[in-house]
Structure 1
Amino acid sequence: MTDPMQGVFAVATTPFSSDGEQDLAQLTRGLERVLSAGVDGVLLLGATGEAMALTAQEQEAQVRHAVDVVDGRVPLVAGCMDYRPADVVRRVAQAKEWGAAGAMVTPSYYGGLDAEVAVAALDEVFAASELPLILYNNPHSVGTDVLPEHMEPLLRHESFWAVKETSGAATRVRELRDALGDDVQVFVGADGLALEGYTQGAAGWVAASAWLLPEQCVALARAAESGDWAKAVELWDGLSAPLSAIEGSHHFISLIKQTMGRLGFEQGPVRSPLGTASAADVEALLSAVERL
């Protein structure tokens, strides 16, 4: 791809009002906040965005609204996850219609497919896509770890823009860069490994934490991008505690939302079946954030 999309992509939450409806006014406030902090892009309908808990109509409303608010200031990427490849193809086409600049896809979730089988199914998606695609490798949730060598057949598709790497393997970012070359961007997806990913040459960071701490995440990225590793390590010393608290929680979406609410950016509750973070965990994260 030419003119690749890089840098920090903040993963938006879905704010809900007290009556359980999607709160697009609060989404606007959140978008303006992260844009003011200097993020390079926004991802909607990811896991942090509670995509699976939204109806098709709510998903469309969220993306169309965000496209209007962002108004081309940064790229806006929409999560397009589904089980059947044909349904993923349909979702990507819808995201393009709604105005998204790119789409994020995963292997078919829950099935625990062999990686070769998962990539063969994704080949149909990449062949059909008119949007740049980021492949989200999240074996802990999807059940399939797609290794660098498994992704190589996808290189024949111009739509293959990037990989969001969330396996937690310590050297995976470097391995992906070696296997995929310069035409495919590699993004850190595990917030707790952001600095490590940057030391291995990551092109960016798809960060749930950037919805909560956009200024700090952007500052870390800029230090790493400029090669100021002393500054990056200094920033990481502060960021690592809140990011580790988020990464280590099974209820991280609720944890982010509740902490933002305590900071004056109300996000409302998570929607069933997601669980609610404990008051103790929220206090611990809030304390870590306040120490920044």
Structure 2
Amino acid sequence: MSFGTGTTGVYPIAATPFHPDGRLDLDGVDRLTDFYQDAGATGMTILGIMGEAQKLEPEESRAIARRVVARSRVPVVVGVSAPGFAAMRSLARDAMDAGAAGVMVAPAPHLRSDEQIAAYFAQAVEAIGPDVPWALQDYPLTLSVILSVPVIARIMAEHPSCVMLKAEDWPGLEKLTALRKLQADGTLRPFSILTANGGIFLDFEPERGSDGAMTGYAFPDMLVELIDLHARGERDAAHDLFDAHLPLIRYEQQPGVGLSVRKYVLMRRGVIGSDVQRKPGPALSATGRAEVDYLLERLARKDARAAL
């Protein structure tokens, strides 16, 4: 399945469902896989930060990757970021052998200088293999690593196997414009840019040159519609749809409890059986759940998908 420099559309970041006692829910993995595809996703990204990858046993990560790849009709990108390159290499090879379309790699949180960042990704590409297509995750708000436009350009120049930038800097609109300007004048090779940050800036990112979204908002079907509206040039309709969902998108952006909100909405939508996170992880309070319910009720007045 295709995953390359021309990738467009919506690649939802998948949650990882667990049973109430914390065990991995593989039947829930199947339902989520179907849900994202039925929502119109052009691909899927699994084992990211939202997927609680750091809380999984290595064999659990492999089991999820194999299960999703076997079931999916769209390209699957597997997050392989790890503290060490041996674990990164092992998961990447296993995922690609299972039929994954590519992998996603984030910078290690300890990196500071551009030289450290460049050296890290050179070693990462050596570990996973230069023939493996991969997405570069730029997420300084969580990872505390600043990928400047020049260092992104350097990584892209040095590693042709990097086919996508997952852009989730904040603010990031000017960064998108700067990267696309370099590509337009021929000083930077083509690559796909999908944006994240929970969709909080998806009202303007396509206008700045993004190719779509790679984020975990609990209404991926809305994300698909939004990207399609932008592609058709229906600016006002796209902004109207975004504005209707913005209160819930904003509520999901709360540090710490954001994943709890997403899992709760996915449970309310009937996609997963439990909204539990694997420990350590916060749960929504009764008041928090009531607030989300209220936001869904208000959203349902404008978007029937929220009438749960």
TM-score for both structures, normalised by structure 2:
0.87
Q: Deviations over 1:191-225 (max 9, x none)?
A: 2111221110101110110xx21221111010112
Partner of 1:199: 207
Partner of 1:270: 277
CA displacement at 1:116 relative to structure 2: 3.0
CA displacement at 1:263 relative to structure 2: 3.1
Secondary structure at 1:96's aligned position in 2? helix
Secondary structure at 2:200's aligned position in 1? helix
Q: 1:80 to 1:117 in 2, by over 3 A?
A: same
Q: Is the 8 A contact 2:20 2:274 kept in 1?
A: no
Residues 57-76 of structure 1 correspond to what in structure 2 (within 5 A)?
Answer: 57-70=59-72, 73-76=73-76
Amino acid at match of 1:189: A
Q: 1:156 to 1:115 in 2, by over 3 A?
A: closer
CA displacement at 1:234 relative to structure 2: 1.1
Partner of 2:147: 146
Partner of 1:31: 33
Distance 2:153 2:25 in 1: 41
Q: Is the 8 A contact 1:11 1:44 kept in 2?
A: yes
Q: Are residues 1:12 and 2:14 paired?
A: yes
Distance 2:117 2:250 in 1: 30
Moved more, 279-288 or 138-147: 279-288
Q: Deviations over 1:247-291 (max 9, x none)?
A: 134211111112222333323410111222333333323332331
Distance 2:27 2:96 in 1: 23
Distance 2:4 2:220 in 1: 27
Q: Are residues 1:287 and 2:300 paired?
A: no
Amino acid at match of 2:283: T
Partner of 1:123: 122
Match of 2:250 among 237, 244, 247: 244
**In angstroms, what is the RMSD of aligned CA positions?**
1.9
Partner of 2:229: 223
Distance 1:248 1:234 in 2: 23
CA displacement at 1:130 relative to structure 2: 2.4
Match of 1:257 among 242, 257, 263: 263
Partner of 1:44: 46
Gaps of at least 5 residues in structure 2 are: 304-308
Amino acid at match of 1:254: S
Q: Is the 8 A contact 2:4 2:192 kept in 1?
A: no
Secondary structure at 1:103's aligned position in 2? strand
Distance 1:247 1:102 in 2: 27
CA displacement at 1:86 relative to structure 2: 5.0
Q: Deviations over 1:4-27 (max 9, x none)?
A: 322101111111113321111111
Distance 2:59 2:238 in 1: 41
Secondary structure at 1:194's aligned position in 2? coil
Partner of 1:171: 174
Partner of 2:113: 114
Distance 1:163 1:144 in 2: 15
| Percent of matched pairs sharing the same residue | 23
Partner of 1:22: 24
Secondary structure at 2:82's aligned position in 1? coil
Distance 2:266 2:14 in 1: 12
Distance 1:140 1:101 in 2: 27
Distance 1:106 1:58 in 2: 20
Q: 1:249 to 1:289 in 2, by over 3 A?
A: farther
CA displacement at 1:3 relative to structure 2: 6.6
Q: Deviations over 1:66-93 (max 9, x none)?
A: 11111xx211010011133454344322
Secondary structure at 1:104's aligned position in 2? strand
Distance 2:286 2:189 in 1: 45
Partner of 2:306: none
CA displacement at 1:177 relative to structure 2: 2.3
Q: Are residues 1:234 and 2:237 paired?
A: no
Gaps of at least 5 residues in structure 1 are: none
Q: 1:18 to 1:117 in 2, by over 3 A?
A: same
Partner of 1:93: 93
Moved more, 116-125 or 20-29: 116-125
Secondary structure at 1:78's aligned position in 2? strand
Amino acid at match of 1:118: I
Amino acid at match of 2:236: A
